[in-house]
Amino acid sequence: MNAPNRKKDRLFAEQMLPGDFVFDEKVADVFEDMINRSVPGYSSIVAMVAILAESYTQANSKIYDLGCSLGGTTFAIAQQLPSTPCSIVAIDNSPAMISRMEKKRASLDITMAPIECRCEDILATEIFNASVVVLNFTLQFIEISERNRLIERVFAGMNSKGILILSEKIRFPDKKLNSLFVDLYHNFKGSMGYSQLEISQKRNALENVLIPETIDTHRNRLIQTGFSSFDVWFQCLNFASMVAFK
């Protein structure tokens, strides 16, 4: 299953001491393989986010990719964009991710829209004149107490009729269903070549770092912030992608 140019993720393959997951050099090195083998539907989501961005980009506005990692989604958007004049702002607070993304940007022939990469905390970043904002599996890493404030800042920086695309690992309100989907997800990871040790060590490392919420919690937060419409456009097991319009 491993793509030829992708370094294989074996970060949790050996027995290790417990510790929280961080987006450091080691993770950045194998991130493309890690996310493709860990998020069901990741490549379809990225391709569709690019199509959504293409449809909703407003002339002379900005597209924000918040928590861009290596720029997988940013570059997909840049390659999909129509001739509408606009620019892309890609932000991540991991220097390891941003430095690799900048190298990749320099090697690609992207002519449609300039891409500005910023190593910043998305809780502090300035957002303005945005017609498209993407949070592709990023909000889940923000402390719960900060999530409303972040969504309010995103909303304030968006233009009327702008689109927010929010992809997240989700939790189910029904406990039985929740554990069923978590078990199925671990089976999915097994089918992607991860061992039981890798699955359980990664799960422990993410426990305090990635906090999933229910679809209803996301819906309520977005509607209370002022977004006019909200729905889920993709779901596979406990992973979902949602859209909301200003």
Minimum distance of ligand GEK from residue 179's CB (angstroms): 21
* Residues 174-203 contacting ligand GEK, CB under 6 A: none
Interface residue with ligand GEK among 29, 54, 79, 141 (CB under 6 A) is: 141
Q: Which two tokens stand for residue 233?
A: 């456009």
Dihedral sign, Cα of residue 175, residue 179, residue 182, residue 188: negative
In contact, 57 and 26? CB cutoff 8 Å: no
Which residue spans within the chain are E strands per DSSP? 61-66, 86-92, 115-119, 130-136, 158-169, 229-236, 239-245
**SS3 assignment, position 110:** coil
Nearer to ligand GEK, 121 or 174 (CB): 121
By CB under 6 A, tell whether 75 contacts ligand GEK.
Answer: no
72 CB neighbour count, 10 Å cutoff: 21
Minimum distance of ligand GEK from residue 212's CB (angstroms): 11
By CB under 6 A, tell whether 11 contacts ligand GEK.
Answer: no
Segment interacting with ligand GEK (CB under 6 A) among 90-98, 157-165, 182-190, 193-201:
90-98
By CB under 6 A, tell whether 92 contacts ligand GEK.
Answer: yes
By CB under 6 A, tell whether 136 contacts ligand GEK.
Answer: yes
* Residues 96-125 contacting ligand GEK, CB under 6 A: 97, 121-123
Exposed, middle or buried by CB within 10 Å (0-12, 13-18, 19+), for 83? exposed
Interface residue with ligand GEK among 36, 61, 73, 201 (CB under 6 A) is: 73
Q: Which of 198, 236, 64, 213 is nearest to 148 (CA)?
A: 213
What Rg value do the Cα atoms of the chain yield, rounded? 18
In contact, 73 and 50? CB cutoff 8 Å: yes
Number of residues that bind ligand GEK (CB under 6 A): 21
By CB under 6 A, tell whether 69 contacts ligand GEK.
Answer: yes
Interface residue with ligand GEK among 58, 94, 201, 241 (CB under 6 A) is: 94
Residues found near ligand GEK in the complex (CB under 6 A): 23, 35, 46, 67-69, 72-73, 91-94, 97, 121-123, 136-138, 141-142
